[in-house]
Amino acid sequence: METAKRMIPYQVYLTESTYAALKKHAKRRQASTIVRAAIDMILTEDHEPYTAGYKQGLKDAINVIQSQEVLKDLSYKGKSLADGLASNIKELE
């Protein structure tokens, strides 16, 4: 999920069964993340679930790394550890 960018609300109509299933995830605050991930997967050029999931995992790892203040504060050769790790993870795509 892209946490650094501003989120824009968008209304979607769902069937009752889809809404009920999604509502179960809302209790754990995962509903929006699930919907965003599904839309991102559909809109990307590669629709294969494994590849889309792998890419989402890389994005999530980068977001976690970039959210850690200690990794931002530590640097090596003028580059923050967070930026270095994120750059290395991006290369895995």
Secondary structure in 3-state letters for 31-65: HHHHHHHHHHHHHCCCCCHHHHHHHHHHHHHHHHH
As a whole number, the mean pLDDT across the chain is: 85
The answer on 39 and 54 residing in a single domain is no
> What is the domain range of residue 33?
12-43
pLDDT tens digits along 58-93? 999 999 999 999 999 999 889 999 999 999 999 998
Can you say whether residue 78 is alpha, beta or left, with left for phi > 0 and alpha for psi between -120 and 50 degrees?
Answer: left
The answer on 34 and 62 residing in a single domain is no
What predicted TM-score, i.e. pTM, was given to this entire model?
A: 0.55
pLDDT score of 1: 44
CB of 67 closer than 8 Å to CB of 58: no
Q: What is the dihedral of CA 79, 82, 86, 89, to 10 degrees?
A: 110
Looking at the structure of the chain, the number of domains it has is: 2
Rounded CA separation 90/85 (Å)? 9
Question: Is 2 within the bounds of a domain?
Answer: no
pLDDT score of 49: 75
What share of the chain in percent tops pLDDT 70?
92
